[in-house]
Chain A
Amino acid sequence: MTTPFSRRTLLGGAFAGFSALSLAACGVSQNDDTDVALSNEEVTLRFTWWGSDARHALTQQAIDAFQKENPKIKVKGEFADWQGYWDRLATTFAANDAADIVQMDELYLRTYGDRGQLLDLARTREFLKTDGFSDLSLASGQAKGVQYALPIGNGSMSVVVNTRLFDKYGVDVPDDTQWTWDDFQEIAAKIMKDSGGDVAGAGALGVEAGQLTIWARQHGGEVFDDEGKVVLDPAVPAQMWELTRAMAGQGAPKAESTAEQLTAPLNQTWLVLGKQAMNFNYNTQITSLQAATKEEKFELLQLPQAADGSSPGFYYKPSMYWSIASGSKHPAEAAKFVDFLASSPAAAKILGTDRGIPANEATLTAIRADLDPTSELAAAFNDKVASVVSDPPPLTPAGASDINNLTGRYMQEVLFGRQKPADAGRKYVQELTASVENAQ
């Protein structure tokens, strides 16, 4: 009976196989002081990103354009979908076989950066210009003063409004420079009531970390500090989920519908299906939301603010980043390529807004006239909040990359009545802190 034994060991074996391969090679690459210079030889770079088929095609076009300009540099693209991307990225870095240019997300930036896996882009300044980026944008790729990455696109947490439903139930779209969370709750409840419960007023608040971060900043705090420590006051999530709980079934969907929407694809969410009048999304998501429906009409509003009128807490969050592996043998060429992607008008024309509304202002200007109407809405929203955004929050530290799921999980504990908001807030901070400490 050999079958059970081999099946039993399969997990441990497969798992360990990967670990052993990776351990042998890790921890080699470090930032040192050697000069970053172009090679005289022909150089091949590896470039990895996640995304859809459309993105793969556009990116390949950009690569071709770059190779035409730089015949001595070859770029080999490697791509995957979101989930597979991170599993593979971790293993390739662990095996010291990382691509040279890596598309990064805020959730993982510090995980890689703090462990010496990403090149400090200050060292490649000669080849990688950052003139087009505002200081706020650049700051969103820094931790402890090191420029780990360059933001590609900028977004901001917003409330997406279905104007068809607002019209249908005779509710005025509020003045979003003034509105408070009380107004938000009231409007959502009114729409749900007037529709006889057919339409929810708003999606659940506090299902992910972006909303939590803004809520914390509106109450004078942050989730993390620049050292990567958890500094969140447990009262912050508690208060936020207090509102979430109060709105469930009274303006927002009931607990189980919220739970279902958490894992639903975009075109199956209630906002797109015309069953919900407002939802929290990054402004740049409006293009995908609008593309998923012809019947509904969407607009963007700023997030509501706290009634006491303290800081609105808004900030630009990069849609994604360019970074260079510190183990890259050709950092100068890699920097040249990133510079092409981030700043060249030719690349901007090819890539458009596929990776978000460009954070590079010169690039955005170059393509602004060609934007489709919903992308223009997103770009206009970025302009609109420019006067109220403040410094970006400190980057998510290692050990907290799962913060969105963690936040959604505790919110559900509250929604399903399994924990009081105060307890959930306390345990949430405990678990987040433990997870971050375990990763240090």
Chain B
Amino acid sequence: MSVVSEIRTLRKPSGRSGRKGRGVKTHDGKAAVVFLAPWIIGLVAITAGPMLMSLYLSFTDYNLLSNANFTGLENIQRMLDDTRLAKSLTVTMVYVFVSTPIQLAVALGLAVVLDRGLRGLSLYRSIFYLPSLLGSSVAVAVLWKRVFGVDGLFNQFLSLFGIDGPGWISQPSTALSTLILLHVWTFGAPMVIFLAGLRQIPREFYEAASVDGASRRQQFRNITLPMLSPIIFFNLVLGLIGAFQSFTQAFIVSDGRGGPSDSTLFFTLYLYQQGFVNFSMGYASALAWLLLLIIAVFTAINFWASKFWVFYDN
């Protein structure tokens, strides 16, 4: 099933076909339970149970080494006075809402270019996809540190033009931008999905449009964008959620500190510091739930807003 049709199915008011299936073949139910068992056990033991535990810990002063005492809303009170939390939220928001749209734009742009039937498409596709596989890895974060250091590759490149570049990673005003760039560079995953989506758009639409004298730009705006909007929406939802959870890059580039002077203090990094450096595990649990809440709210807004711009073809 293609991504487009998959999303379409999901967006249908309610799974009529699903209900029918269950009614017809009841004995499949038991088999389904058996086949689902590994997943259900995993969900309960590894995800749901621990999540409930962490919800409970959010209301305690758990410090890993002593018993957890119930402290009511104290952790929430602490959040309100926590200036570093505010700072980390700001950093994360800037990171998410700058890097995700740019990343999607780059991915879409390249997908459109690649979709024009380039020779050796699969090669290009693989090459562009590569950073997505590497981008969140430790090795690339280490590389990034070298590229954007005072004596890094980037400044050596600039010096060819007589520009004396600063230490991009070690300066509070530019450190976050280098991480945003790193994130944008991992455009491969959404690009591949865009490519798949572009393939689903019937060629006749373009042929009809060009017969009517529509320019390339008009075709893009009036055919490609609306037809692709479910895919854009899908990538946007995934992209925002992924960006909110970014951790590795900032952790490696700043040595786990979020520096210089907290300019790359991602929310997840701050959470890690509270939990594993300060041993404020109760507070860290509360922070994890705050992140869940924030992501849920933005995703809900996203779904609500999609009514106004996502076009479904049936």
Q: Which residues of A contact B (CB under 8 A)?
A: 1, 3-4, 7-23, 26-27, 83, 86-87, 90-91, 93-94, 111-112, 115-117, 255-257, 259-260, 262-263, 398-399, 401-402, 405, 408-409, 412-413, 416, 418, 431, 435, 438-439
Contact = CB atoms under 8 A, between A and B. Distances in A.
A115 B63 contact: yes
Contacts of B101: none
Interface in B273-292: 273, 275-281, 283-285, 288-289, 291-292
B167 A257 contact: yes
Contact of A257 (B54, B63, B170): B170
A434 B87 CA distance: 17
B234 A13 contact: no
A202 to B, nearest CB: 18
Contact of B277 (A262, A402, A409): A402
A416 B261 contact: yes
Contacts, number: 175
B257 A259 contact: no
Given A13-B46, A15-B288, A401 B53 contact: no
B256 interface: yes
Interface residues of B, number: 63
B14 to A, nearest CB: 15
Contacts of A94: 64-65
Chain A to chain B: the 7 pairs with minimum beta-carbon distance, closest first:
A16-B54, A16-B50, A20-B53, A17-B50, A260-B170, A259-B170, A115-B65
Contact of A16 (B150, B285, B291): B285
A118 B172 CA distance: 40
13 contacts: A7-B238, A7-B245, A11-B291, A13-B50, A15-B285, A16-B57, A19-B50, A19-B57, A20-B53, A256-B171, A257-B170, A260-B170, A263-B145
A256 B150 contact: yes
B149 A12 contact: no
Contacts of B256: 83
B261 A20 contact: no
Interface of B: 7, 10, 46-47, 49-55, 57, 62-68, 78, 84, 145, 149-150, 166-167, 169-172, 234, 237-238, 241-242, 245, 254-257, 259-262, 268, 273, 275-281, 283-285, 288-289, 291-292, 295-296, 299
Contact of A1 (B10, B46, B169): B10
Contacts of B167: 256-257, 259-260
B233 to A, nearest CB: 10
A16 B64 contact: no
B279 A413 contact: no
Contact of A8 (B172, B241, B255, B281): B241
A132 B52 CA distance: 52
B107 to A, nearest CB: 17
B165 to A, nearest CB: 10
A418 B66 contact: no
Contacts of B166: 256
A257 B171 CA distance: 9
Given A4-B237, A256-B167, A263-B259, A398 B50 contact: no
B159 to A, nearest CB: 16
Given A7-B241, A256-B171, A93 B64 contact: yes
Nearest to B285: A19
Given A22-B64, A26-B67, A116-B66, A15 B54 contact: yes
